[in-house]
Amino acid sequence: MEEAMISPSGGWEALRMATIEGARHRPRHCGLCLSIPMYNWPMRLQPNDLPAYAAHLASRDNSNTADVLERLRRAVAEARLRLADIFVTFDPTGERISGSVRVCVFGKDFVVLTEWRGGEGAGTYEELSELLAGASARAAEIEAPKMGTRVSLEGMTEAYRRALQDSGFVFQGRRVEYQTPVSELPDERTSRLTWTTMADMGEKPVLDLIREASAGTPDGMDVEAGVSAIEDVLGGSYGTLDPRAVEVGTLDGRAVAVLLTRVDVDTGWAGIQFIGIVPEARGRGLGTDVHLHGIATMRDLGGTVYHDGTSETNAPMLHLFEKHGCIEHSRMEEWEWRPAG
């Protein structure tokens, strides 16, 4: 842990848990036309197909379709979800959605694409390519500087990988994801660090500390956009959050560690969005102190289930997850798209 830090993953987890909405106007396939593919070409979701989209999501998560539809309609009404960000394909009947992806915008520099959701079996290269093309066009339309996506190893196929490559996505590496009840995690012991919040320290020193703590690690954080980069991963304006969402640990009067913690009090979802230690303080076992303090903060803020992860190459952080009893949930490939030129 003292060699590295967890990447800002709150937006990723939020998108994974988020329910979406949608529909579309579409042509019907002619059953006699053998040259027509076995799905309709991707299109943006339209309001009249929201029930079909709810059924699609519910079938994947074993949820109640009526409940999902209600959440989707509420999210649309509250402008928390934009149909222009959702791309779908339909089966030959034109009634059932066979696959979908969604572009999720958590901030100007934090745009992610959901993993492909489909029915039985894997998506074809043609279907995946068209969905990725639609999503990339949307990212370009909103002038996103980049768009990341994570695909579980269980869901990754050669067709999916080839479609990503041919659509301009570049492989970034693999991640290990964890999901653990907070009640099963260890309590904070006596710490060598003294903790304060960004509200007390100020934004600039915290941004400088994050830059310093990101040096030489596989999971650093880009904060060139300023405090908005922090707010993007926290999911809201810092002024509206508990000040402990951003904490700095000092040792002998020197700021050496930083924590960004996010908790959804409605669902109990909790995550340490970023955890870092400056290079000069690494190798001294401080990672344990920092991680345990992050767990304590999640617990204090009402978190009940801890979701987090790190690069497969981040051996110190992997060791900390194992040491503190975090349960491996999945392994994923990370890919990134950037606009041409």
**What pLDDT digit, counting tens, does each position of 174-212 carry?**
999 999 999 999 999 888 999 999 999 999 999 999 999
**187 shares a domain with 158:** no
Q: Provide the domain limits for residue 38.
A: 14-175
Mean pLDDT of 148-156: 94
> Cα dist. 294→38, 195, 229, 291 in Å?
49, 11, 19, 5
Which of 175, 205, 223 terminates a domain? The answer is 175
**195 shares a domain with 321:** yes
Our CA angle for 142, 144, 146, nearest 5°, is 150
- Percent pLDDT > 90 in the chain is 69
- How many structural domains compose the chain? 2
Torsion sign over Cα 32, 33, 39, 43: negative
Q: pLDDT tens-digit profile of 23-80? A: 233 333 333 333 334 445 568 999 999 999 999 999 877 889 999 999 999 999 998 8
* Whether the predicted pLDDT of 125 surpasses 90: yes
Whether 1 is covered by a domain: the verdict is no
Whether 337 is covered by a domain: the verdict is no
Local structure of residue 158 (DSSP, 8 states): H
**251 shares a domain with 196:** yes
Spatial distance between the Cα atoms of 249 and 256, rounded to a whole number of angstroms: 6
Residue 91 is predicted with a pLDDT of: 86
**Amino acid code (one letter) for 22:** G
Residue 204 is predicted with a pLDDT of: 96
Pairing assessment for the beta strands 147-152 and 110-113 based on DSSP bridges: parallel
Is residue 147 within 8 A of residue 101, CB to CB? The reply is no
Question: What residues are paired with 152 via a beta bridge?
Answer: 332
Closest to 101 (Cα-Cα) out of 138, 74, 65: 138
Q: pLDDT tens-digit profile of 308-339? A: 999 999 998 999 999 999 999 999 999 999 99
**129 shares a domain with 237:** no
Local structure of residue 246 (DSSP, 8 states): E
**218 shares a domain with 143:** no
CATH number at residue 234: 3.40.630.30
> Cα dist. 211→51, 205, 238, 257, 308 in Å?
45, 10, 19, 11, 21
**161 shares a domain with 20:** yes
Residue 32 is predicted with a pLDDT of: 32
Higher pLDDT, 9 or 173: 173
Whether 9 is covered by a domain: the verdict is no
Which of 122, 140, 175 terminates a domain? The answer is 175
Which of 127, 144, 175 terminates a domain? The answer is 175
pTM: predicted TM-score of the whole model, two decimal places:
0.75
**68 shares a domain with 45:** yes
